[in-house]
Amino acid sequence: MGVRVMVVDEHRLLAEALASALKLRGHRVLAAAAPAAGAAELVISRAPEVCLLGTASPAEPGVFEPVVRIKRERPQIAVVVLGPVPSPRGIAAAFAAGASGYVRHDERIEGVERALAKARAGEAAVAPQLLQGAFAELLNPAAAPDDEAGRLLRLLTPREIEVLVRVAEGEDTRLIAAGMSIAPSTARTHVQRVLMKLGVGSRLEAAALAARTGLLDRAALPFPDGPGTGSATIPAQPGPRE
């Protein structure tokens, strides 16, 4: 006997194509709707046996709030999430919200049907390969990328970061001194300290390193305490000459 199913996905063409395929295979498809914002209300009002709920970002915070609401107000409705290859966090978040299963967007229609049947029967509907991939990632997590920009920012004081920004913008010692209201000799000392801490031999190399690592994009953001204390946000600092 066919499953009374509802398809909800933000991509209308995908929702309608899947709904049509399920209808051809004998399932009773109640609706194919696109709006994610009103998904929970729509599903609750139609009360299908199973809802196929599409998402493009299974790891995004709050993405499974519709599942939470559906299960709270209509606990008898089984929800199967339809999405991309998920991370372990995505799968965990879906089931924590109350989902009965997870199906990839590129799954064959037979796989979707199996998931619907399992969900209606109260079973977990997740392909074995998805679970294997999730467990493999949990047991052997990928190493976090080296945050070179963050490391370099922690080496510099806020004033040295301002000097680096000015160097990258092509300012010479005179302009740096004028812009920071300090003596040229002090500006020269700051530049030399920046070059030493970054491990480069010239202003050009410092500017290239800052651009390559994205350090300049991070220079206006707070960073963890380190040798350069405080925030990387550099306000204008008029005042007496140093």
Q: pLDDT per residue over 80-137, tens digit each?
A: 999 887 777 778 788 889 999 999 888 899 999 999 999 999 998 887 777 676 666 6
- Which pTM was predicted? 0.55
pLDDT, tens only, 161-183: 999 999 988 899 999 999 999 99
Q: How confident is the model at residue 34 (pLDDT cuts 50, 70, 90)?
A: low
The number of C-alpha atoms within 13 Å of 210 and in the hemisphere containing its C-beta is 26
**Average pLDDT over the chain, rounded to whole?**
81
Lowest mean pLDDT among 74-78, 153-157, 191-195: 153-157
pLDDT of residue 195: 92
Whether the Cβ atoms of residue 100 and residue 124 lie closer than 8 Å to each other: yes
Exposure string over 194-214, b if 16+ CB within 10 A, otherwise e: bbebbebeebeebbebbeebe
